[in-house]
Amino acid sequence: MEYGGGSGGADSSDKKKRYHRHTALQIQILESLLQTDEPLWTKGLKDGMEILNIDNYKRLFPRHNDTPKNPNVRTEASKASGVVMMNSLQLVDMFFDSVKCHFFNIKWIELFPTIVSRARTIEVISSGLLGSPSGSLQLMYEELQVLSPLVPARQLYLLRSVQQIEQGSWAVVNVSYDLPQYNPYAQSRFKVHRLPSGCFIQDMPNGYSKVTWVEHMEVEEVALNDRLYRDFIHSGLAFGAKRWLASLQRACERTSSLMTTTMSHDIGGGIPSPEGKRSMMKLSKRMVNNFCSSINPSNGHQWTSHSGMNEFEVRATLHKSTDPGQPNGMVLSASTTIWLPVTPQNVFDFFRDGRTRPQWDVLSNQNPVQEVAHISTGTHPGNCISVLRAYTPSQNNMLILQESCIDASGSLVVYCPVDLPAINIAMNGEDPSYIPLLPSGFVITTDGHNEIKSEGNTSGASTSKTTSDPTSEHGTASTGSLVTVVFQIQVSSLPSAKMSPESLATVNNLITNTVHQIKASFNGCSTST
């Protein structure tokens, strides 16, 4: 889909005035949402996340063209606050870096790779005042995702504006803006309207910022959610303020660790300099971003269900790889989502543990792995980059690059085989941009249930083909984890190759065996462990 900019003359001037009028009102509403607690917001009893009181909101901000309530429309609205390891001006500059990226908002995607799958600036309506970002206004296209093929992306056209409130304080507003010439719902099972959302950024004396984030959407579900993700989505965990804030905190913490001069925990002597550390972190960041973008591919790369005789579905797609940072040819991406009756932290620890890796990783050939280099990317020990070597005599030239990350919204474990000469390029501080990567890995989140432990629950792991909520035999919801398993393989070096039954069978068997081994490892476990 091509996006056009504004036309010249009076029409363009009138259109920009409409944009500014629309945004000015939304900024006022957002400021009220950010600065007001009760009666607009109430805190959840369990996680403390602030939930909007819809009735009070409608009384304070009536909509003149409000239509009768559609029974299929839900409101998602939440607020969260926290400290971010970056000052306010740096954050605002990162939010509005799209003009430097040829209208593809690369920085926005890199800042939120687990949430934003596509972002593009359609038109820069205002670039700010006297070199300042304040007053910037952009018309955007954005696709928001949950890292699972079971959840369709949310497609939005929106206006994004930034205003400096006072020295060291900024407000960023995102609000839907309907464009009649484009139909963002043509291939979507969701109709989404973003009401005034965004964040308030305030400098702190230590160089960090306090960020308060608000997300407010109306969602019309054209088709029912997959039942595995229904509670996760309806609880606000999927697209709510808590997830946006946690992702921002994680990204800024990683950037802070990149800038620090503290040397890595270099077990094998492989990272000799700060330049080597930065190059390795750049390589690993590209690996994680590639992984996130492979789960919900865009531009017609449709998933094909392939369940066979399995008790779960495997969804796959074939796409041509032309990126210099990926192997040339045709790449098959496949994934499935399962439910496990254990906590997300336990699942995360299982995938990171080198002792349990032979239970699921075909790259290790059922042999233990040794960590030969380690780079911390945050205060949590699970936020790190590792270089692993499998005890396999026949593969002495092959290493495994792995990054694990965890925050309040969930966790990732992403890995990729990389040959020794390529790793040496990065470790020596050279440009890693052309090192080919084809990552696989795992996405781990809570299932969104109310953490009610089933009495006598022995149901084991549920899967993406489940036709009812993951429950025990007695019908009581059990809290556990949703785990998305993703594999990518190169099926041909020829750019014109087609998806063959043999390729599908190969990746299907790979996922099937991995899922069965994972479920067997947690057999008999419960969420109390």
CATH assignment at residue 246: 3.30.530.20
The C-alpha atoms of residue 488 and residue 187 are separated, in whole angstroms, by: 24
Question: What confidence category does residue 38 fall into, taking pLDDT thresholds of 50, 70 and 90?
Answer: confident
Residues linked to residue 374 through DSSP beta bridges, in sequence order: 265, 386
Pair 137, 180 in one domain: yes
Statement: residue 292 has pLDDT above 70: yes
Task: Please check whether residue 413 lies inside any domain of the structure.
Answer: yes
Question: Is position 375 within any domain?
Answer: yes
How confident is the model at residue 296, as a pLDDT?
A: 78
- Predicted TM-score (pTM) of this structure: 0.88
pLDDT tier for residue 367 given thresholds of 50, 70 and 90 = confident
The span from the CA of 229 to the CA of 481, in Å, is 11
Residues 243 and 353 in one domain: no
Domain that holds residue 406: 287-418+431-521
Let me know whether 253 and 377 are in one domain. Answer: no
CA distance 434 to 324: 6
Domain total for the chain? 2
Same domain, 309 and 236: no
292 lies in the same domain as 180: no
Q: Tell whether 277 is covered by a domain.
A: no
Question: How does pLDDT run across 189-205, given as a tens digit for each residue?
Answer: 668 999 999 999 999 99
Q: Is residue 281 part of a domain?
A: no
The residue from 207, 238, 257 where one domain ends is 257
Same domain? 242 vs 311: no
Q: What distance in Å separates the CA atoms of residue 114 and residue 251, rounded to the nearest whole number?
A: 11
The answer on 291 and 242 residing in a single domain is no
Instruction: Please name which of 10, 50, 48 lies closest in space to residue 34, comparing C-alpha atoms.
Output: 50
Ranges 78-82, 231-235, 410-414: which has the least confidence: 231-235
Task: Quote the pLDDT of residue 270.
Answer: 59
What does the pLDDT read at residue 357?
92
Report pLDDT for 129. Answer: 81
DSSP state of 475: -
- Assign residue 412 the CATH number of its domain: 3.30.530
Residue with the bigger pLDDT between 419 and 494: it is 419
- Between the ranges 66-80, 317-331, 348-362, where is the mean pLDDT highest? 348-362
Compute the distance between CA of residue 313 and CA of residue 322 in angstroms, rounded to an integer. Answer: 28
For residue 471, the model assigns a pLDDT of: 40
* Residues 166 and 310 placed together within one structural domain of the fold: no
DSSP string spanning 372-402? EEEEE-SSSTTSEEEEEEES-GGGTTEEEEE
Residue 424 lies in a domain: no
- In a domain, residue 349? The reply is yes
Find out whether the peptide bond into 39 is cis, omega within 30 degrees of 0.
Answer: yes
Q: Are 450 and 330 found together in one domain?
A: yes
What is the model's pLDDT at position 485? Answer: 96
Give the range with max mean pLDDT: 262-271, 323-332, 461-470: 323-332
